[in-house]
């Protein structure tokens, strides 16, 4: 259910961004006083994830910002190589967002 909600949110965000972009490309301006919301100061979880993966000697598989208890954190998923040719271990790390 959480994945469905996430997909719907991403789709709605993409459609809203496309609608704004199409208006600008066609020379239309938003009405005077209209608010255009942009994500500013969003945590760069991908960059944080790359650092964590490098520290663990693994490969970044995913990085996502989440709100936990009123604080923004980054949920990082790293694939760490296993010994003896076995499949990599999946390691999940939660770190504070910067």
Domain parsing of the chain, residue ranges: 1-38, 40-98
Between CA 50 and CA 54 the distance in angstroms is: 6
pLDDT tens digits for 71-85?
999 999 999 999 888
Structure tokens at 37: 């919301």
pTM higher than 0.85 = no
pLDDT of residue 22: 47
The 3-state DSSP class for residue 62 equals strand
């Amino acid at each position: 259910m959480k994945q469905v909600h996430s997909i719907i949110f991403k789709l709605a965000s993409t459609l809203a961004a496309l609608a704004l972009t199409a208006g600008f490309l066609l020379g239309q301006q938003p009405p005077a006083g209209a608010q255009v919301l942009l994500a500013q100061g969003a945590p760069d979880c991908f960059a944080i994830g790359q650092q964590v993966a490098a520290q663990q000697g693994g490969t970044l598989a995913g990085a996502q910002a989440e709100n936990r208890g009123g604080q923004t954190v980054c949920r990082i998923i790293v694939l760490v190589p296993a010994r003896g040719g076995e499949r990599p271990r999946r390691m999940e790390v939660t770190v504070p967002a910067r």
